[in-house]
Homo-oligomer: A and B are copies of this chain.
Amino acid sequence: MENNDPAKGFTVTPWEVKGDVDYDRLSREFGIKKIDNELEERIKEEAGELHFLIRRGIFFGHRELGWILDQYAKGNKFYVYTGIAPSGPMHIGHLAPFIMARWLQERFGAEVLIQIPDEEKFLQKKKLGATLEELHEMAYDNAAYIMAMGFDPKNTRIFLDTEYAGTLYKQAVRIAKHVTFSMVKDAYGMGNDSNIGWIFYTSMQAVPAFLRSVEEGKNIPCLIPLGVDQDVHFRIARDVIEKLGYYKPAVIHNKFMPGLNGQQKMSASDHLNTIYLKDTPEEVRKKVGRAFTGQQATAELQRKHGGNPDICAVCQYYKFFFEPDDRLLEGIFKSERDGTLLAGEHKRDLAEKINAYLGGLNREKGRWEGRIRDFTSKG
């Protein structure tokens, strides 16, 4: 993860993640604070537990999380806003912000707003290979999976931009008035050849971060769990939202889920190294079977020298999602390190865990499919 050599740089924008991301350096550049032990203690105090995604540093950074906890302690509840831009079927790398949002809902009683900007990828990608209508359909598929993750329907609002623009556009216009082309040009690397929809888009993404305050006619704190690549939207929006007289939204940032090949970020377009939520048990077994483990070339060498769990995709999958128990996770890491667990067994175990999770998720998603179109907010 060390990459302090500028010549071996990395790029992190909402639309491109390239290179080997150094999260410390990224935090300095973006102005993101680390979630430190003190903050962890405070979360634990208010929530009654500390989610393993925070404990393990997968949610590593924040903006004003301390303030959110102050407000909460004073009885001023926050709401949670997150989302996903549909570009295809969802994969495991998309889950972290939703797992966190659901936990925040459960532990803090937070209302959750979920935005599905079905226009974003359409505007961003010159050659997308999908029409706006196809993205719209994908958006519903994504929405059904998200609701299947266990959000409380009574305390959750989920919407597609093209269907909720009646609510969003008016507020987006208020944001847009304070954002110049220079600002998005610098922040996103846009140019004269960028289309005007993409240029405008960030205003739409900003809206749910203060929408509840608009609706209630009084300030309500907002907390946004998101992949760190999305941070730039709120670097700009936080200042504008404050100018409009609302609380700046707070943010917590998660690291990228690695691909099965050990690459730092799972990519939806890299089918073989990505576990899609819709993958069959057989597909999961095949993909995991080909995963990069960082083990020695032969079983004999592995037994002798052991492997490195920090570069092993299988170990990382346990760490990110599939082994919430720290002691059990340490056991897995240890058996990798000391060579007692061979790759084949290791992978079979993980595939089973993934399949158990996806099995339940897809059953629940099936139940949501029939009602998701009615459930999403319109207007």
Contact = CB atoms under 8 A, between A and B. Distances in A.
Q: State how many copies of this chain the complex holds.
A: 2
Contacts of A378: 166, 379
A193 B182 contact: yes
Contacts of A174: 132
A122 interface: yes
B185 A172 contact: no
Interface residues of A, number: 42
Dominant secondary structure at the A interface: helix
A17 interface: no
A195 B177 contact: yes
Contacts of A173: 119, 122-123, 132, 162, 197
A161 B165 CA distance: 10
A166 B379 contact: yes
Contact of A176 (B164, B180, B200): B200
Given A162-B169, A166-B166, A166-B378, 11 more contacts: A169-B169, A173-B197, A176-B197, A179-B197, A181-B181, A181-B190, A185-B192, A196-B203, A197-B200, A199-B200, A379-B379
Interface of A: 119, 122-123, 132, 161-170, 172-182, 184-185, 190-200, 202-203, 378-379
